[in-house]
Amino acid sequence: EAGVTQFPSHSVIEKGQTVTLRCDPISGHDNLYWYRRVMGKEIKFLLHFVKESKQDESGMPNNRFLAERTGGTYSTLKVQPAELEDSGVYFCASSPAGERSRYNEQFFGPGTRLTVL
């Protein structure tokens, strides 16, 4: 079974540019999450999809961030325009629905390291 994959692994952009991150969850996982870790700090929640619907977007920093989940499969997170403080590692995670979601376990991807110059 393939794990959660993310693309790109690294992205370096100039302030004001646009970047789109992609996440492919584990097949069959209804729950998809985006998290971010800024240098040395905690992993912070951004957004939660259940299938194609946004269940919780309380962690999205501002309206420069836009997340979508097409057809309940892969998800994209777009940052437009990027600011210096958006630098960090963006993780995607997925988990199965309902009773199959045991032990609070979420399956994480390797992350996209975003650097805004």
Partner 1 sequence: GQSLEQPSEVTAVEGAIVQINCTYQTSGFYGLSWYQQHDGGAPTFLSYNALDGLEETGRFSSFLSRSDSYGYLLLQELQMKDSASYFCAVRDPGENQGGKLIFGQGTELSVKP
The maximal CA–CA distance of the chain, rounded, in angstroms, is: 44
64 binds partner 1 (CB under 8 A): no
Decide: 81 and 27 in contact? Cβ < 8 Å. no
111 binds partner 1 (CB under 8 A): yes
Decide: 1 and 104 in contact? Cβ < 8 Å. no
26 binds partner 1 (CB under 8 A): no
Of residues 73 through 92, those in contact with partner 1 by CB under 8 A are 91
- Asked whether the CA dihedral 39, 112, 86, 44 is positive or negative, the reply is negative
What are residue 93's DSSP bridge partners? 33, 108
Identify the residue among 44, 51, 64, 78 touching partner 1 (CB under 8 A). 44
Decide: 33 and 57 in contact? Cβ < 8 Å. no
Of residues 90 through 109, those in contact with partner 1 by CB under 8 A are 91, 93, 95, 97-99, 101, 103-109
> Which residues bind to partner 1, rule: CB under 8 A?
3-4, 30-31, 33, 35, 40-45, 48, 50, 55-56, 59, 91, 93, 95, 97-99, 101, 103-111
